Amino acid sequence: MAVNRRVVLKGIGGALTLPLLETSEAATARPPMRFLVVGNPLGMHPEHFFPAEFGTRFMLPTTLRSLEWVRDRLTIVSHSDHGMNNGHGREISFLNGVLPEHSSAYAEKNVSVDQLMARRTQGRVRFPSVHAALGSGIRMSWTANGIDLKPFTDPHKLFDHLFLNLTAQEKAVRREMIARNRSVLDAVGDQLAGLKRRASRGDRVRIDQYATSVRELETSFAEREGWIDRDKPKFDISGHFADSETTIRNRYDAIFDMVGYAFETDLTRVATVAFPNELSYTDIEGVTRGYHACTHNGKKEEVIAELVAIESFQVEQLSRCLRKLDSVQEPGTDGTLLDHTMVLFGSGMGYGGTHSNRNLPILVAGGGFRHRGHVDARAGNGGNLPLCNLYVTLLQRFGVERERFSTSTGAFELHHG
Amino acid sequence: MADLLRAASLLAACCILLPAADGSDSPGLALLKASCSHCHGGPEPQGGFLLSSLTEGPEPDSLERWKKSLEFVRAEVMPPVQGGRLPPAHRRQLVAFLRKEVHRRSGGAGASPAAPMRRLNNRELAHSIRDVLMIEDVGTHQPMSGLVGDTLQDGFDTIGDALGMSQFHLEQYIEAFRKIVGATVLPGDRPSSRQYRVAAGDMRMTSLSQQRRPARANRTAESIDFLDPRLRVYFANFERAPATGKYRIRVRATGKDRGVYETAETGIYDGDPIRLRIHLGDRTRTFDLPDEAQTEIELEEWIAAGTRLELSYPTDGLRLRGNGNFKFQYSIAHDHLQEADPALYEAVLRDRLPRAPARTAKNPRHWSHWTEQWQGPRPRLFSAEIEGPLYDAWPPKRQVALLGTAPAAGDAAKILRPIAERAWRREVLDGELDPIVELVQALAGDHATQEGHVRALREGIVAVLASPAFLLVNSDQGAASDRFASKFSYFLRGTLPDRHIREAARDGRLEGFAAVLDEVRRRISRSEAEEFLREFPHAWLELDRINFMAPDPDRFPLYSRKRLSEDMVAEVLRFFRHAVESNVPVPELLSANYTFVNADLARVYGVSGVPQDSQLRRYTFTGGRRGGMLGMGAFLTLTADSLSTSPIHRAVFVLEKFLGIRPAPPPADVEIAEPDVRQARTIKETLAAHTSEPTCASCHAGIDPYGYAFENFDPVGAWREQYTMHVAPRPSRSALREIEVEDRERAAKGLPPVEKPWENEPIRVDSSSRFPGGPEYRDITEYRRHLLSEENRERFIRCFIEKLLTYANGVEPTESAALDEIVAKSQENGFRIVETIAAVVDSPLFRDEQVRN
């Protein structure tokens, strides 16, 4: 078995040495499934995203053209959404189907699908999930406590987080810090009990939230302590920053490469990468306006062209990442890393130009599914597919046994094997 | 739940069919039925809403419907004009009836939700720590940069529901607290001080690229000049502060070449002094430099170890040419020399062009030839000296103030108690400090050195700050007077209460309107309401969204190149400050015929005779088009798209921010057509569906009229008489002939002719409309007059009060008698703004006592 795993010759890192796997699980159990989400907050210009034909014999529209090579391993979903009202601000429900203000009505609040998966990997991998974007986040990923996770917005910081090994002294400091933080938590924890006893009912909710934070942080310290002494895999991203000018292209290249390598070495199994609205995309050929401004193009062709350039850039980045994942043999299988990584591309907004949150642009790649090409997901009565149905399918594929998630009414048909 | 929400959002009318128990209706109820039942009964009620639903279902939901009904009738959206106008007397009667019902159903004042317990937001947190530790700010080492940001709700950063807490927060807090305390309490020996002499040669420019190649700098042996304002200067022999302590910094500098180039080219006004800014982490100090005369700037600052010291040239100019990058500005030197010094001009060309690459040699005006000739306004630095770290004593006084001179872990309880009392904003209960005292003593151990004691106590302070009693505000712990003092302080100052306010509250000296008014006045006059003056208007008007949809950089170049959004926000804040400091009546915020403009805003507003500098000064408009908040660039820009304006966005802003009406969002299943600006259509024509489609009309008839009047203001808020459609330049005559031929060919094939965008005629703006259920208006002047009608004025006051309460309580107030009392108190005092604020603070809705008890 161990010998078989050494088929890997050249990983994403470009290193010829065998990437050191973080966990031993891959050797003993079936290969892990990973989940990558690539999202944006403004949707996609529909005519350039959705193919005109349904089924597997479709023409790839402009925005998706870079995915031609992987078209057999794609499912593009038309007519799915979360039933949200139109307008900005609701795209943050992309991965959970529920807005923060309505989350109290749901048993699991507005936890996002990636975090449910991350929770399942907790303790088995060093990082339950990894989140990255340039500039700012787009509030995609939500914890069970209803807090949106802040992504890494600097590739170098992400690198340090994922790959930088600590010196012996740093390890000692880290351990000491954890010990000190624990004793601070102990002290306030003791105080909490008294506070809670005296608190009114209304206040108790907040104090409970605080107490949960204390408890979760304690657990997290315990887990992190276990990882301190173990070396991380080695990786190099300096190649992306060799040019005098760093562009958003080479910074995203670096981010996707790091995510791919983190999957390959089992540092994490869940990751999200976002293309925020606030970022300047003017590095891209032909783009002079702001991203958001391009969505409100008034149907002017030259402005639409800029929007499509930005969106095509996002898809090209995705395509490049898929190619990297596909270049790595998954140990112990005859498939590639891509076959063991479910990639979800999309947005919680349909199209910014109309402020529509209906018919979200959704694309699933890899994951070893028998892909279906371009699917009209409408039910018999013409209603759009609840996007959470797709998430149920993804959760099941990830190994989270459940029939329901958030606003789901069933599962989306996507088989594997 | 979701269904109910949807139902609530569909609610577009006022109505219910109430069975009268005794067979006879009260006059109010009869009026309600008479006015509403016609459209909102039967199998297909208007707006998809059945009358009887008001009395169905659990109380909280039906209460919502009652409130919505009140809102719509008050806003004169309902009953609609089409059904015949409701006489004003009847409307007043109907409003009174609905309000009474709402009050009755919500159980009077007490039903307004209590200010929910919430965590401190990040700005309150920073101010509070500052005041717990009695220091100037949280420190120059950006200790709070890792904190999770606050979520704004409707612009407010004080909303309880949006301020959640998680393990991520907690961990970052502890880390931040440790850094802050670490730069305040210094265990160990006194670090030695030294002097750093920084010659011009030691001064370096930062670089924008990743490479460590030094940026171009104009320097001599004695001096270095700022060129690109995006770049900063740092000192090679003092990049970072080596130890925490006070540093004395002296910089010798001068302003160079102010007024050599035209303002039109540089974007810098001759009236503005050249300035120099010193950056110590987030802390900045800015100085005016004299022209062509060396001066010495001196400052003393407490700086945390590791802080970068940098200098910059603050200006919003030098971005007008090319794509705004600095290098393109060098061509100003070309234009200037050509006129001013032809001999030198020729000499430069003779020298440069032969050596230039072929691509630029052809173009004498190319920026690359003129880099040596730059005479733009700029600071020139000569030398600097830094001395430090300096201490007033050892341990430093700020540490002694917290811990005493020779602190021991054994005294932890005594030492930490006053710190905890400040932090927790109340008296410390018996035994409450014990876990923290135990922590300190365990850390110190039995044989601690003096340094060990200090280190252990430092952790004790971190634990005091990490405590829920510090991090969570609006708790019901502690004495009522302390809770009020706390609330008052966070409201006006964004920080914990000082001793004065706690004592005044404890002694009952803040009971009653007069006492509160005195205290509010006192705080304002002592500049102790700065936080409120800045944060409240920011939140109320959602100023953070001004660049969410920034005006198109090609069509409105000045907006991005002169950073107009900063001027526009500054205008709002200056105006609001004026309103409070001069205690104007609240309605004047809308009715004022003046605002505060600088030279940049004057260009947008089309006013002349304004001094050519960046300072905001009061300006009075004539003609009734502008003045007050309704004419401000900030409002007009943040409600516009990048290329076009939207009467709907502006209407919704006016309704939500000024009239206290929150229109329901469009139903989820409505497909909204994308605006198409290629066709020469006015926005009115585009929005025609709003009056022809019944589903749209039921709501939009009540919304759109509030926005059409602003159509004379373009996306940056400049006045316009006509829409400049996207008129393309007319093609050459030969091109036109070709198009003519092509059109003939296309016609033969049955194809439409080639698009001819240059043929679009500019279209006159039509800014007239009719208020729902009210008068027609022709333009913005008539609109403004109506918006200041007695009824609207009352709405505005009420709305303003609601926003104050939202800011203070972290939750929106609901209709209640207590709210009416604030309005009445404001009216008694001529609606003056300070009295209105005091009435809010004195209200049970702010004091929160009724609710708690």
Could you read off the pLDDT of B233-261 as tens digits, one per residue? 999 999 999 999 999 999 999 999 999 99
Q: Is residue B41 part of a domain?
A: yes
| Beta strand B295-303 pairing with B245-256 | antiparallel
The helices-and-strands tally (H runs, E runs) of chain B is: 36, 19
Q: Is residue B577 part of a domain?
A: yes
Of the partner residues B468, B476, B852, the one whose CB lies closest to the CB of residue A188: B468
Residue in chain B lying closest to A156 (CA): B210
B171 touching A (Cβ < 8 Å): yes
- Written out in words, the top-level CATH class of the domain with range A17-164+245-398 is alpha beta
On whether both B9 and B24 belong to a single domain, the answer is yes
Looking at beta carbons, which residues of chain B come within 8 Å of A148? 151
Which pLDDT belongs to residue B668? 62
Half-sphere exposure of B543 (CA within 13 A, CB side): 20
Of the partner residues B170, B475, B678, the one whose CB lies closest to the CB of residue A300: B678
Could you read off the pLDDT of B742-791 as tens digits, one per residue? 888 888 888 888 777 666 667 889 999 998 877 899 999 999 999 989 88
For chain A, give the percent of residues with pLDDT over 90: 53
On whether both B302 and B219 belong to a single domain, the answer is yes
Helix (H, G, I), strand (E, B) or coil at B686: helix
On whether both B624 and B752 belong to a single domain, the answer is no
Higher model confidence: residue B68 or residue B636? B636
Rounded Cα–Cα distance for residues A224 and A315 (Å) = 35
A201 touching B (Cβ < 8 Å): no
Rounded Cα–Cα distance for residues B853 and B840 (Å) = 20
Looking at beta carbons, which residues of chain B come within 8 Å of A118? none
Looking at beta carbons, which residues of chain B come within 8 Å of A292? 548-549, 642
| Beta strand A34-40 pairing with A341-347 | parallel
On whether both B712 and B574 belong to a single domain, the answer is yes
> Is A241 in Cβ contact with B666 (below 8 Å)?
no
What is the distance, to the nearest Å, from the Cα of residue B700 to the centroid of all Cα atoms in its chain?
Answer: 28
- What number is the average pLDDT over the span A19-47? 79
Question: Does the structure show a pLDDT above 60 at B323?
Answer: yes
What's the domain range around B384?
194-318+376-390
Q: Are A240 and A99 in contact (CB under 8 A)?
A: no
Which pLDDT belongs to residue B166? 81
Separation in Å, CA of A147 to nearest CA in chain B: 7
Of A24-28, A119-123, B53-57, which one has max mean pLDDT? Answer: A119-123
Q: Is residue B527 part of a domain?
A: no
What is the distance, to the nearest Å, from the Cα of residue B150 to the centroid of all Cα atoms in its chain?
Answer: 14
Residue corresponding to tokens 């490479």 = B211
In the 8-state DSSP scheme, what is residue A55? B
Separation in Å, CA of B256 to nearest CA in chain A: 31
Question: How many beta-carbon contacts under 8 Å exist across A and B?
Answer: 190
Residue from B1, B24, B26, B28 nearest B14 by CA:
B28
Question: Does the structure show a pLDDT above 80 at A360?
Answer: yes
Could you read off the pLDDT of A159-190 as tens digits, one per residue? 989 998 888 898 898 899 899 999 999 999 88
Rounded Cα–Cα distance for residues A152 and B753 (Å) = 52
Q: Is residue B802 part of a domain?
A: no
On whether both B653 and B752 belong to a single domain, the answer is no
> Is A203 in Cβ contact with B671 (below 8 Å)?
no
> Is A183 in Cβ contact with B117 (below 8 Å)?
no
Half-sphere exposure of B344 (CA within 13 A, CB side): 14
Q: Is residue B486 part of a domain?
A: no
Q: Is residue B714 part of a domain?
A: yes
Tell me the pLDDT of chain B averaged across its residues.
Answer: 87
Of the partner residues A145, A184, A198, the one whose CB lies closest to the CB of residue B463: A184
On whether both B36 and B8 belong to a single domain, the answer is yes
- What number is the average pLDDT over the span B568-589? 98
- What number is the average pLDDT over the span B355-372? 91
Integer Rg of chain A from CA: 22
Residue from B342, B318, B331, B339 nearest B373 by CA:
B331
Rounded Cα–Cα distance for residues A414 and A393 (Å) = 7
On whether both B768 and B753 belong to a single domain, the answer is no
Residue of A206, A295, A406 best to disrupt the B interface, most CBs of B under 10 A? A206
List b or e across B320-336, with b for residues whose CB sees 16 or more CB atoms inside 10 angstroms.
bbeeeebbbbbbbbbbb
Residue of A156, A225, A296, A360 best to disrupt the B interface, most CBs of B under 10 A? A296
On whether both B93 and B235 belong to a single domain, the answer is no
| Beta strand B224-225 pairing with B763-764 | unpaired
> Is A214 in Cβ contact with B166 (below 8 Å)?
no
Rounded Cα–Cα distance for residues B500 and B427 (Å) = 15
Separation in Å, CA of B432 to nearest CA in chain A: 6
> Is B1 in Cβ contact with A203 (below 8 Å)?
no
Q: Is residue B261 part of a domain?
A: yes
**Taking the alpha carbons of A57, A60, A61, A63 in that order, is the dihedral positive or negative?**
positive
Give, for B258, the enclosing helix (H) or strand (E).
Answer: none
B790 touching A (Cβ < 8 Å): no
> Is A180 in Cβ contact with B169 (below 8 Å)?
no
On whether both B608 and B652 belong to a single domain, the answer is yes
Of the partner residues A145, A198, A203, the one whose CB lies closest to the CB of residue B117: A203
On whether both B686 and B750 belong to a single domain, the answer is no
Rounded Cα–Cα distance for residues B118 and B164 (Å) = 7
Q: Is residue B748 part of a domain?
A: yes
For chain A, the domains span: 17-164+245-398, 166-230
Residues 711-730 in B contacting A (C-alpha not used; CB under 8 Å): 726
Rounded Cα–Cα distance for residues B67 and A251 (Å) = 51
Q: What are phi and psi of B764, to 5 degrees?
A: -70, 140
Listing DSSP states for B16-27 in one string gives --PPPTTS---H
Looking at beta carbons, which residues of chain B come within 8 Å of A143? 166, 168
Window from A285-289, B270-274, B585-589, B663-667 with minimum mean pLDDT: B663-667
Number of domains within chain B: 4
Question: Does the structure show a pLDDT above 90 at A197?
Answer: no
Separation in Å, CA of B649 to nearest CA in chain A: 12
Separation in Å, CA of A211 to nearest CA in chain B: 9
Half-sphere exposure of B638 (CA within 13 A, CB side): 24
The helices-and-strands tally (H runs, E runs) of chain A is: 10, 9
Helix (H, G, I), strand (E, B) or coil at A345: strand
End residue of a domain, out of B49, B81, B105: B105
Looking at beta carbons, which residues of chain B come within 8 Å of A207? 117, 468, 472
Residues 612-671 in B contacting A (C-alpha not used; CB under 8 Å): 641-644, 665-668, 670-671
Q: Are B453 and B407 in contact (CB under 8 A)?
A: yes
- What number is the average pLDDT over the span B511-519? 96
> Is A190 in Cβ contact with B548 (below 8 Å)?
no
CA–CA–CA angle B216, B222, B226 (5° rounding): 35
> Is A210 in Cβ contact with B471 (below 8 Å)?
yes
On whether both B215 and B94 belong to a single domain, the answer is no
What pTM did the predictor assign?
0.80
On whether both B743 and B596 belong to a single domain, the answer is no
B463 touching A (Cβ < 8 Å): yes
> Is A150 in Cβ contact with B168 (below 8 Å)?
yes
Looking at beta carbons, which residues of chain B come within 8 Å of A407? 2
Q: For chain A, how many residues are written?
A: 417
Of A144-153, A226-235, A321-330, which one has max mean pLDDT? Answer: A321-330
> pLDDT band at B739, cuts 50/70/90?
confident
Of the partner residues B148, B174, B432, the one whose CB lies closest to the CB of residue A150: B148
> Is A210 in Cβ contact with B210 (below 8 Å)?
no
Integer Rg of chain B from CA: 32
